[in-house]
Amino acid sequence: MRPSETAAPLPPEPHDMRKVLGHFCTGIAVITGHDGQRPLGFTCQSVTSVSLEPPYVSFCPALASTSWPLIRATGRMCINILADDQEAVCAQFARAGIDKFAAVGWSPATNGAPRLHGALATIEADLEFEHGAGDHTIVIAHVTNLRAETGRPLLFYRGGYGGFAALEAESSATG
């Protein structure tokens, strides 16, 4: 069979995508907003810088998210980059049907969205663009304010959470 006659490869299965892309270490963020009545938020691992001029960041909420449509309606958000000691906060904001802000300290950022206490960094932003992408939405947000603290990030790698020390120990053990 000549190369031009070969069959197109089958697309990867979701579990294969998760397994392979899990080898890409990411930080964890909680995207928050406030609708004037209550704080809103969800956990998100797909946050990235898009542009310095103008200052844009991107994140990708799932289409199934019940929090994102409510935050979207406000047009503004705070991206809270979690510190390595905030795994419980990450888990709490990943659950549906609970008071995600129960026992979580926060104060209003300058745009009114919740700034989580103990976050490693916060990025205040306004919704600029959205684009559908399979089972997620790609959000581009215009950064209006930001700040960072000292500390280490909460990381997600191969289906688990940790920090730099945990990843270094795993590499030494398997290396």
pLDDT, tens digit, 9 for 90 and up, residues 66-109: 999 999 999 999 999 999 999 999 999 999 889 999 999 999 99
- Check residue 83 and give its pLDDT: 96
Name the stretches of the chain with pLDDT < 70: 1-5, 21, 23, 164-175
How far apart are alpha carbons 8 and 99 in whole angstroms? 47
Which residue's entry shows tokens 């089972």?
135
- Check residue 173 and give its pLDDT: 60
How far apart are alpha carbons 28 and 64 in whole angstroms? 19
CATH superfamily of 26-158: Electron Transport, Fmn-binding Protein; Chain A (2.30.110.10)
Among the listed residues 24, 23, 89, 31, the one whose alpha carbon sits nearest the alpha carbon of residue 58: 31
- Check residue 165 and give its pLDDT: 64
- Check residue 15 and give its pLDDT: 81
